[in-house]
Structure 1
Amino acid sequence: MPLAVRPTVAADAEAVSDLLRVCYTTLMEPGYPPGALDRVLPLMMRANPALLRSGRYYVVETADGTPVGCGGWSLERPDAPNDPVDPTLGHIRHFGTHPDWLRRGVGAALIERCVVDARAAGVQRFECYASLVAGEFYQSQGFRPLGPLDVRIANGMVIPSLLMIRDRL
């Protein structure tokens, strides 16, 4: 089935949140101890309004308009959005693929769109805070792990993650 990748708009918030809810609750649980995600997942499953409006966040849709994947990039660090940016370093953000669409090119299409757009903006490399279950996917897309990382979500909550980098776009 043909897939289309398009930038999101603010009106996509509910559809993206619904997609993230299905993705994260189904796919992330096997990589974490029981209960480890209970407090952080509700915060992670909400679409980020600033990303949706940025022109750098995308949704993958089937021919009938059904969203099956989402993700994007930013110059701002996800954990420090107010810090100065390095215009050559992009940050992969808030990726998710519907469980029924795994290994069908959805994530690869999102990465490719991010690479094309980021390269055009002068970005030379990507950094990613990958969940513990997503490292293999990112490695298949040219990222290499740098080591473990505790990502701060909110109110002192953290989620164990992997810091990964793609040195060349």
Structure 2
Amino acid sequence: MLAIRLATMVDLEPLTDLMDRAINELQKGFLDAQQIAASRAIMGIDTQLIRDETYFVVLWNGALAGCGGWSFRRTLYGGDHSTDLRDRGRLDPSCDAAKIRAMYTHPDFTRRGVGRAILKVSEDAARAAGFKRAEMMATLAGVPLYERCGYQVIEKVQSTPAGGVDGISVPLLRMGKAL
């Protein structure tokens, strides 16, 4: 039924398609159309996570159901195209929080434990790497899941993407929890 494996560069096209569908469909009700369009400048695939082998694919009976991961790098959120958000510096597990990154669930597979499974495998891997805390930058659509999984709001952020859509800001929440 549910299987999780590390993502590879071969997965880029299907992952990009999944992310586009998730952004388009799952943000409705939380963001207006302009904010959804602006969010594309800060959301998307981060191939550094795949190269670092910290990004996972979730399959449901062989179908791509979700993706997400964690990072030992300073970048908190953003895709390859959001260069203003990039910091490839390494975190120190003794004092820094691992970053939970780029979690997306295919709209056909919501409410089936996909997001929870990604969080578990990511948190377990970060814990095994010596991290004692995890942080993420959450979309409003993801907050209910993250709260149920023990994450608490650290700060509210209005992200105005560089080169974004007419200065439209996207509400985000930096969240964290002890591992």
Q: Are residue 67 (structure 1) and residue 47 (structure 2) matched? A: no
Q: 1:37 is paired with a residue of what secondary structure?
A: helix
Q: Structure 1: any 5+ residue segments left out of the alignment?
A: none
Q: 1:31 is paired with a residue of what secondary structure?
A: coil
In the alignment, the residues of structure 2 paired with residue 11 and residue 153 of structure 1 have an alpha-carbon distance, to the nearest angstrom, of: 28
Shift of 1:70: 0.3
TM-score by length of 1: 0.88
In the alignment, the residues of structure 2 paired with residue 61 and residue 107 of structure 1 have an alpha-carbon distance, to the nearest angstrom, of: 12
Q: Are residue 129 (structure 1) and residue 127 (structure 2) matched? A: no
Cα gap change, 1:20/1:150 in structure 2, threshold over 3 Å: closer, same or farther?
A: same
Match of 1:53 in 2: 51
Structure 1 runs (4+) greater than 3 angstroms displaced? 151-158
Shift of 1:149: 1.3
Cα RMSD (Å) of the superposition? 2.0
Q: Structure 2: any 5+ residue segments left out of the alignment?
A: 77-84
Normalized per residue, the structure richer in strand is: 1
In the alignment, the residues of structure 1 paired with residue 30 and residue 176 of structure 2 have an alpha-carbon distance, to the nearest angstrom, of: 20
Match of 1:145 in 2: 153
After TM superposition, the structure 1 = structure 2 runs for residues 78-157 of structure 1, keeping only pairs within 5 Å, are 78=76, 79-83=85-89, 85-88=91-94, 89-151=97-159, 153-155=161-163
Q: How many residues align?
A: 165
Shift of 1:40: 3.1
Match of 2:173 in 1: 162
CA contact (8 A) 1:61 1:69 kept: yes
In the alignment, the residues of structure 2 paired with residue 154 and residue 54 of structure 1 have an alpha-carbon distance, to the nearest angstrom, of: 26
In the alignment, the residues of structure 1 paired with residue 162 and residue 58 of structure 2 have an alpha-carbon distance, to the nearest angstrom, of: 28
Q: 1:142 is paired with a residue of what secondary structure?
A: coil
Shift of 1:154: 3.6
Residues 41-84 of structure 1: per-residue CA shift (max 9 Å, x gap): 26624x22212222100010123x21101000112223342455
Shift of 1:143: 0.4
CA contact (8 A) 2:140 2:173 kept: yes
Q: Are residue 28 (structure 1) and residue 24 (structure 2) matched? A: no
Stretch deviating more after TM superposition (76-85 or 32-41): 76-85
Match of 2:4 in 1: 5
CA contact (8 A) 2:41 2:161 kept: no
Cα gap change, 1:152/1:58 in structure 2, threshold over 3 Å: closer, same or farther?
A: farther
